[in-house]
Each structure stands twice: as structure tokens, then as C-alpha cells.
Amino acid sequence: MFEDGNTVVHKDDETGSTILRGDSAFAAAFDGVKNALKADIGDTAFRSWVAPLQARALAAGVLDVAVPTRFIRDWVRTHYAAQIDRLCAAQIPGCTRVEYSVSTAAKAPAKTPAADAARPYEPVATANENAAETGAEQLSSALDPRFTFDNFIVAASNELAFAAAKKLASGENVTFNPLFLQGGVGLGKTHLMQAIAHDVAARAPEKRVVYMSAEKFMYQFVRALRSRDTMAFKEYVRGVDILMIDDIQFICGKESTAQEFFHTFNALMDQGKQVVLSADKAPGDLEGLDDRLRSRLGMGLVAGIQNTSLELRLEILRAKCTLMKREMRADVLAFLAEKITSNVRELEGALNRLIAHAELVGRAITRAAAEELLQDLLRAAERRVTIEDIQRRVADHYNLRMTDILSPRRARPVARPRQVAMYLAKALTEHSLPEIGRKFGGRDHTTIIHGVRKIEELLLADRQLAADIETLKQRISG
């Protein structure tokens, strides 16, 4: 299977996209989507996962995208589906949904494998061919020089994670292993991990520190499997003092690479090597995770990073302006901090855009101008649905209070709307069942499954319920 995965990993855009590309507008538009994604995810990931995708048909709002292997399909689904959906909805007229189907036709033409083989997949090109020369420079991902402890603003929402990272980097003996940084997108996980790497490199350069994304770890592993050199890879990884793997929610499912990752990880832990991991979910909520590993992860320190407060966002914006030696009016910063609440990356993106614009036009940005310039971001921020929104809307609709939705009461007039809210939370957000359970007054995920199924079942016959749910969906997403 990985042999299969690998041929495609090597494939690039010119070779792949000639086969199925028609003249259809949707295909051209899909190329636009791919390009937009490329800007976002970088060349390497793009070439491996996105370039092989081919838009084949657009019918009844569904864009059918051919993917050369199951492995790539699963990867794209877990990593890029949300982004692709959003881009397609925005850029391909008439497209409301994207479906991926595995199709051998999406593979490179027969003549290309040789050409591809001559173009080794780059950052890991030498890692396994010559394991003896494998150095941290090759395995470790490049670090962002701005991601230091000094540049990290500490607040209640991230102080535990910050303190743990700092302590670990200081070289003092820490009692926790692994350190598991957990937090939503753009809240500073990568920043803290890289800060550890910077700090250790400055303080104890002899230490071998490897930082890499889970994605990169997987590539390396797939390569090693293919060249039947997993031993060298494992040996290498085990030779490091601190191994940091970012976004391990992307190593999930029953793939053999995931299994191998877990073995490697266990071996490292057994040797007392320090491991730092991050994910957007707590270990207990990572789906498709080996149970032994899950419990092992839970034994370390799980340091959560919570959503930012208004004050933290403001402070980050001010710090960022100072760092870039740029001025921005206080009311504009306040406006940003108030409107862009979901993650710091978006907040920084918005600020950068305003700064770039101010530079271009040569005068300070006003609040009104900011509003105008950030229209798209602000709209996207407003559209993002939270479980709380859903609960509130459902409570309103059925004339209940929020506390009813969260309460343990089982009387039907409360229980049914609650199930509707569960159903909508599953349908309209990306949260896992355990996460949803937690937001429903700490219910078990099996209760959520039951609620969702119940509504699905009732929907088949109950027209009123179907109408209610339709109305609610429109209100929530509208």
C-alpha cells in the first residue's frame, strides 16, 4: 500500500494533471483552488497531497475529485478537506460539496515513474539513502526565528503550557514525559514547540533536538518503509534527546505508519527520552489512536491552551506591532481584537494585511478602512459555528433556557430539543463526539451518538422535526 502511496508522493503537477483535465470550467476553477491551497500549505505538502487531485465532474453541486490512492484520499480528507470545501464553495460556481474517489486514472501516465524517480522527493531525499549521514538538520523542520519564548505573550489561557515548555527547555529535570500541548488551531502550539528548540539550541547546542510536523514524520516513515530501512530511521530517531512532533492528530487511523509511530514513540519513552507532542485535541479525544498509546500520553503532562481573551489578543497585536516596528491606531487594534476571536494566526494575518495596506497608501488605517479591508475575514469569522451558538439557537427555538439544554433532565420536552442540538453540533461543527459530550454538561460520547441517531431516525418520518431542523440550520449558519 505504501509502495502505492509513494509513487504518487513523487508525482508532480505537470505529469499528473494532463490526464483528466478537460476544458470544463470547473476543472480550471479547481486548479485555482489548488493554487490557493498551495500558497497556504507550502510547496512540499502541496506536491505530495494536493497536486495529484483531479476534478472529474461537477453534478448536482457535487464536485467529484479523483485521488490516486486510498492513502492520499484519507490524508486529504483529514487535513485539507475543510479548506478545499471552503475554497471550492467560493471559487467554483455551483459547487456545494466535494467528494473524493480513488481512481487509478488519477495516476501519472506510465512513462512518468522513471522521470519522477529522478526527481527525489526533496527534504528527506538523503535521510534514508544514507542513514549514517542523517543529521538533525535534515530531519528537523526549519524553525521560524520569531517563535521564541520572548515573543510569546503569556496569559491565563496559556500559562501552564508556557511554563511547562520553558521548564523543559531549561534542561532542569522535568517529571513529565511526554509533554502534550493541546489547543485549537492558531493558539500557539507550534510557537511553543519551536521556542523549546530555539532555547535548547542556544543553551545546550550538543543536545539533539528534532522538531517536525506529524506530516513530515509520516513522509519520513513511508520512505523508510519503502526502502526497507525502518531500522535506520528508528535508530536515528531514538538517538535524539528531545523529539517534538507537531499536530499528531494527523497521525491517526489504523495505517501501519501510525502503528510504527507508536512503537517508535514507546521505545523513546522507555529510554527516558523527552518527547513533546501537540494536537488540537486531548489524548482521550484523538480518534483512531492506539489505546496503549492513548493511556501513555495521558500519563505525561497534558497542557491545554484555551481560547484567547480579548486582553490577550490586544496584547499580542501590540507586541506584534512593536516587533515589526509599525504603528497602528488603538481603535483599529481594538476592533481587530474584538472581531477576530477564533485564533491568533488569523488575527496576525489581519494585522499584516492592514500594515501592508497602510504602507502602500502611505497613511494610517482608520477603523472604517479596516472594516472594509477585512470584509472577507470578518465574514468568515462570523460564519464559524460553535456548539454554544447551536445550543442557544435550539433553546430559543423551543422556548427553553440554555440550562435546560445542559441539564440532566430527561423529560421529553427538554430531551428532544437537546438531541436536536447534539445532532446539529455533529452536523455543523468539526468537534469529536467526546468534545461534544463535554459541551453538553459532561455527557458521555455514547449519549451523543444515541442522540444523533435518534434524531436521524425521527427525521425520516417527522416532517415537523425536519422543518425545525432546516430552520435552525439556516439560522445557525446564516
Site for Mg ion, rule CB under 5 A:
189-190
Segment interacting with ligand ADP (CB under 6 A) among 107-115, 122-130, 184-192, 249-257: 184-192
Instruction: Tell the smallest beta-carbon distance from residue 68 to ligand ADP (Å).
Output: 29
Residue 444: count other Cβ atoms within 10 Å of its Cβ.
13
In the list 186, 283, 417, 437, the residue contacting ligand ADP (rule: CB under 6 A) is: 186
Q: Which is nearer to Mg ion, 214 or 225 (CB)?
A: 214
What sections of 326-366 are H helices per DSSP?
Answer: 330-339, 344-361
Q: Does 185 bind ligand ADP (CB under 6 A)?
A: yes
Quickly tell me which residue has 510557537 as its cell: 191
Instruction: Tell the smallest beta-carbon distance from residue 184 to Mg ion (Å).
Output: 10
Instruction: Tell the smallest beta-carbon distance from residue 328 to ligand ADP (Å).
Output: 16
According to DSSP, the β-strands at 179-183 and 274-279 are: parallel
Task: Tell me which of ligand ADP, Mg ion, none is bound by residue 277, counting a contact when its beta carbon lies within the kind-specific cut-off of 5 to 8 angstroms.
Answer: none
d(CA 267, CA 421): 43
Q: Which is nearer to ligand ADP, 147 or 262 (CB)?
A: 147
> Crossing angle for the helix pair 214-226 and 230-238, nearest 10 degrees?
140
d(CA 326, CA 320): 9
Strands laid side by side in the 97-102 sheet = 54-59, 62-67, 97-102
In the list 344, 350, 425, 455, the residue contacting ligand ADP (rule: CB under 6 A) is: 344
Q: Does 158 bind ligand ADP (CB under 6 A)?
A: yes
> Crossing angle for the helix pair 25-41 and 81-91, nearest 10 degrees?
130
Segment interacting with ligand ADP (CB under 6 A) among 181-189, 293-301, 365-373, 432-440: 181-189
**Cα 36 from chain centre:** 17
Task: Tell me which of ligand ADP, Mg ion, none is bound by residue 187, counting a contact when its beta carbon lies within the kind-specific cut-off of 5 to 8 angstroms.
Answer: ligand ADP
Quickly tell me which residue has 454538561 as its cell: 441
Q: Please give the backbone phi and psi of residue 58, each rounded to the nearest 5 degrees, phi first.
A: -130, 115
Task: Tell me which of Mg ion, ligand ADP, none is bound by residue 73, counting a contact when its beta carbon lies within the kind-specific cut-off of 5 to 8 angstroms.
Answer: none
Task: Tell me which of Mg ion, ligand ADP, none is bound by residue 417, counting a contact when its beta carbon lies within the kind-specific cut-off of 5 to 8 angstroms.
Answer: none
Segment interacting with ligand ADP (CB under 6 A) among 123-131, 150-158, 375-383, 466-474: 150-158
If DSSP codes are grouped into helix, strand and coil, which group holds residue 410? coil
Secondary structure element (H or E) that encloses residue 320, with its range: helix 310-324
Segment interacting with ligand ADP (CB under 6 A) among 15-23, 88-96, 145-153, 446-454: 145-153
If DSSP codes are grouped into helix, strand and coil, which group holds residue 85? helix
If DSSP codes are grouped into helix, strand and coil, which group holds residue 66? strand
Instruction: Return the closest-CA partner of residue 333 out of 66, 258, 322.
Output: 322
Q: Does 152 bind ligand ADP (CB under 6 A)?
A: yes
Using CB under 6 A as the binding rule, the residues of this chain from 89 to 108 that contact ligand ADP are none
Segment interacting with ligand ADP (CB under 6 A) among 74-82, 226-234, 342-350, 442-450: 342-350
Q: Does 348 bind ligand ADP (CB under 6 A)?
A: yes
Point out which residues bind ligand ADP (CB under 6 A): 147, 151-153, 158, 183, 185-191, 316, 344-345, 348
